Amino acid sequence: MVAVRASAGEYIRDKQTGAESIEPTQPITTIQKFNGNLLKFNLFWEQFEEHVHRRSDIADSIKFLCMISVLSGAARSPVEGLPVTSGNCSKARDILKE
């Protein structure tokens, strides 16, 4: 299990001058890593949706960082080269769901 850290918000905020605060108002919980095992995808995605994806207090760029941090192996490879942007959160989600 990997703790997804809200401190990623500080990194993004430092990189995006002039952006409104994108730090979560509540801590992000621990989500089990997903390594690409298709039998475990639904469990992973339910956890990720519940604790990160559905939260309106987390910017999409932070959601993307959170997603990358809980992926490993075959699941991480297709998305790790994507730049950290708000648009790439949904792109990474679509790649994983394929």
Instruction: Report pLDDT digits (tens) over 15-44.
Output: 554 544 445 555 566 788 999 999 999 999
Mean pLDDT score across all residues of the chain: 79
Instruction: Find tokens 């994806």 and name the residue.
Output: 53
What is the full DSSP assignment across the chain? -EEPPTTHHHHHHHHSTTPPP---SS---EE--B-S-GGGHHHHHHHHIIIIIT-TTS-HHHHHHHHHHTB-HHHHTTTTTS-S-SHHHHHHHHHHH-
Q: Is the pTM of this model over 0.85?
A: no
Question: What are the residues facing 71 on neighbouring strands?
Answer: 34
What are the sequence ranges of the domains in the chain?
2-97
Q: Name which residue leads in pLDDT, 60 or 10.
A: 60
